[in-house]
């Protein structure tokens, strides 16, 4: 069992810490946000993630998981130090690495003996080189004999299924510069029994950005095809199924809708485009992915206006605020963008989300938040589905049809079945499928 330190108690960091603790390692989970650490000590999670509360509680109880604000203390006690702090997007799309640099300086100041420093945050290619240089300058001024290694080990977990993704990964990617670093990471990940790609740090860094960009590309591709389906009386669900059964293409990440959001895809895509530009490589393909994604929200508004005409003073009910189901994360949520556009058109919006309402209230003002999905639709001109929560599919739509002023649904996530909606008398519009009119 190893002594591990994870710096940054965000989505990647906290899950990494909780899962390694669950596997029996002793893990120090560090964050400079004192309130976050105080809350974690009381068992209060900083975000919603299924299963995380129980997993962290068990780690704390077994004394495998320790929360602290002190990088110094945590680094001193650990052999492996994971950096999992945020790398937000700057105005120009570039990744902001100030938090990484600050952490790296603190690590350099704390190192007393050999450590393996692992970047787990999504970072631009060559960040590892900067990390090594920064730590080396600080450490070797103090004691030239102290040794350390830097490695890259990107994390591919998705919010909402983060624990299962972490513990049962499709692959482990490791970028190393020394045998010693490779051995430590092989030992750490051995119990996962997953295929392991061991390469140099630059390749590992690129794997993460390229993977997220490729998945974004897949989504924009299917959204583009959905547009064609709408014009040619075709069904995007069947088209995606027919394509996805080819194992070279695959069925996943092929759901058309109002576009991708969240704190990873938009940010990583923009950062990767920036990296391409800086390196003098033409990344126009990815710029197009971004453009298609941005256009999704405007097209959705167009679809609504083509049915309802003016939106001024129309009452619209919204199901879903988070950027996808099973999370309360509102960052870069397409639902939030759509609501802002509806507001700018003068519509009166009432929204409901199973988990994201508290956060949404701090971000989206000028709308009403309902206590239940049924309250959303009372007297509304139409219902909009913006996040694909399962529970929205399980509602009583005959009741919803009666509560709405007119039974009109715009499904931005293809959550519902057009045949069923037609039977229940709805005018039902979705993405890349022919509209149905059961009235």
Which residues participate in catalysis according to the annotation? 264
254 sits near ligand UDX (criterion: CB under 6 A): yes
Dihedral of CA atoms 203, 205, 207, 213 in degrees, nearest 10, equals -140
Taking the least distance from each CB to ligand UDX, the nearer of 116 and 215 is 215
Three-state SS for the chain is CCEEEEECCCHHHHHHHHHHHHCCCEEEEECCCHHHHHHHHCCCCCCCCCCHHHHHHHHHHCCCEEEECCHHHHHHHCCEEEECCCCCECCCCCECCHHHHHHHHHHHHHCCCCEEEEECCCCCCCHHHHHHHHHHHHHHHHCCCCCEEEEECCCCCCCCCHHHHHHCCCCEEEECCCHHHHHHHHHHHHHHCCCEEEECHHHHHHHHHHHHHHHHHHHHHHHHHHHHHHHCCCCHHHHHHHHHCCCCCCCCCCCCCCCCCCCCHHHHHHHHHHHHHHHCCCCHHHHHHHHHHHHHHHHHHHHHHHHHCCCCCCEEEEECCCCCCCCCCCCCCHHHHHHHHHHHCCCEEEEECCCCHHHHHHHCCCCEECCCHHHHHCCCCEEEECCCCHHHHCCCHHHHHHHCCCCEEEECCCCCCHHHHHHCCCEEECCCCCCEECC
Q: From the CB of 108, what's the least distance to ligand UDX, in Å?
A: 27
Taking the least distance from each CB to ligand UDX, the nearer of 60 and 325 is 325
Contact map string, positions 323 to 342, toward ligand UDX, x by CB under 6 A: xx------------------
Q: From the CB of 336, what's the least distance to ligand UDX, in Å?
A: 11
Q: From the CB of 264, what's the least distance to ligand UDX, in Å?
A: 3
In terms of DSSP bridges, do strands 408-411 and 427-429 run parallel, antiparallel, or are they unpaired? Answer: parallel
By CB under 6 A, name the one of 72, 253, 368, 375 that touches ligand UDX. 253
Stretch that binds ligand UDX, among 88-96, 198-206, 261-269, 371-379 (CB under 6 A): 261-269
By CB under 6 A, name the one of 28, 48, 260, 319 that touches ligand UDX. 260
By CB under 6 A, name the one of 59, 86, 262, 317 that touches ligand UDX. 262
Stretch that binds ligand UDX, among 38-46, 262-270, 313-321, 376-384 (CB under 6 A): 262-270
212 sits near ligand UDX (criterion: CB under 6 A): yes
Q: From the CB of 36, what's the least distance to ligand UDX, in Å?
A: 20
Q: From the CB of 192, what's the least distance to ligand UDX, in Å?
A: 16
Taking the least distance from each CB to ligand UDX, the nearer of 266 and 317 is 266
Stretch that binds ligand UDX, among 87-95, 152-160, 231-239, 300-308 (CB under 6 A): 152-160
Q: From the CB of 157, what's the least distance to ligand UDX, in Å?
A: 5
Q: Residue count at the site for ligand UDX (CB under 6 A)?
A: 19
Give CA–CA dist 381/368, Å, rounded: 15
Using an 8 Å Cβ cutoff, are 309 and 382 in contact? no
- Two structure tokens written together for 160: 């909402």
272 sits near ligand UDX (criterion: CB under 6 A): no
157 sits near ligand UDX (criterion: CB under 6 A): yes
Q: From the CB of 263, what's the least distance to ligand UDX, in Å?
A: 6
Give CA–CA dist 189/294, Å, rounded: 38
Q: From the CB of 262, what's the least distance to ligand UDX, in Å?
A: 4
400-429 residues in contact with ligand UDX (CB under 6 A) are none
158-197 residues in contact with ligand UDX (CB under 6 A) are 158-159
296 sits near ligand UDX (criterion: CB under 6 A): no
Stretch that binds ligand UDX, among 103-111, 260-268, 275-283, 348-356 (CB under 6 A): 260-268
- Two structure tokens written together for 129: 């080189």
By CB under 6 A, name the one of 255, 414, 424, 430 that touches ligand UDX. 255
By CB under 6 A, name the one of 181, 184, 219, 382 that touches ligand UDX. 219
Interface positions with ligand UDX (CB under 6 A)? 155-159, 212, 215, 219, 253-255, 257, 260-262, 264-265, 323-324
């Amino acid at each position: 069992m190893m002594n591990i330190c994870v710096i940054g108690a965000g989505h990647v960091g906290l899950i990494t810490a909780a899962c390694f603790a669950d596997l029996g390692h002793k893990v120090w989970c560090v964050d400079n946000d004192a309130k976050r650490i105080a809350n974690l000590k009381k068992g209060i999670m900083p975000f919603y993630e299924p299963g995380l509360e129980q997993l962290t509680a068990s780690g704390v109880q077994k004394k495998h998981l320790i929360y602290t604000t002190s990088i110094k203390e945590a680094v001193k006690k650990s052999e492996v130090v994971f950096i999992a702090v945020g790398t937000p997007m700057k105005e120009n799309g570039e990744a902001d690495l100030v938090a990484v640099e600050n952490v790296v300086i603190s690590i350099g100041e704390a190192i007393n003996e050999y450590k393996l420093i692992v970047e787990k945050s999504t970072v631009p290619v060559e960040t590892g080189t900067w990390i090594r240089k920064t730590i080396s300058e600080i450490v070797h001024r103090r004691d030239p004999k102290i040794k350390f290694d830097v490695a890259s080990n990107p994390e591919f977990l998705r919010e909402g299924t983060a624990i299962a993704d972490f513990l049962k990964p499709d692959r482990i990617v490791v970028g190393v510069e020394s045998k010693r670093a490779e051995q430590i990471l092989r030992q750490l990940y051995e119990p996962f029994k997953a295929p392991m790609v061991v390469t140099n740090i630059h390749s590992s860094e690129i794997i993460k950005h390229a993977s997220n960009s490729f998945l974004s590309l897949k989504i924009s591709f299917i959204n583009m095809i959905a547009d064609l389906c709408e014009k040619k009386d075709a069904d995007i669900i069947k088209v995606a199924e027919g394509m996805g059964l080819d194992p070279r293409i695959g069925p996943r990440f092929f759901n058309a809708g109002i576009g991708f959001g969240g704190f990873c895809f938009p940010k990583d895509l923009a950062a990767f485009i920036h990296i391409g530009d800086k390196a003098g490589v033409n990344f126009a393909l990815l710029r197009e992915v971004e453009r298609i994604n941005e256009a999704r929200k405007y097209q959705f508004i167009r679809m609504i206006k083509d049915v309802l005409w003016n939106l001024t003073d129309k009452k619209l009910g919204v199901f879903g605020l988070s950027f996808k189901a099973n999370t309360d994360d509102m960052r870069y949520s397409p639902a939030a963008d759509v609501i802002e556009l509806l507001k700018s058109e003068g519509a009166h919006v009432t929204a409901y989300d199973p988990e994201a309402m508290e956060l949404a209230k701090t971000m989206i003002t000028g709308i009403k938040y309902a206590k239940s999905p049924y309250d959303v639709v009372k007297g509304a001109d139409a219902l909009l589905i913006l996040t694909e929560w399962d529970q929205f599919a399980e509602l009583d739509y005959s009741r919803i049809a009666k509560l709405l002023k007119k039974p009109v649904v715009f499904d931005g996530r293809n959550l519902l079945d057009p045949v069923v909606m037609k039977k229940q008398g709805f005018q039902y519009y979705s993405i890349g499928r022919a509209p149905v009119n059961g009235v």
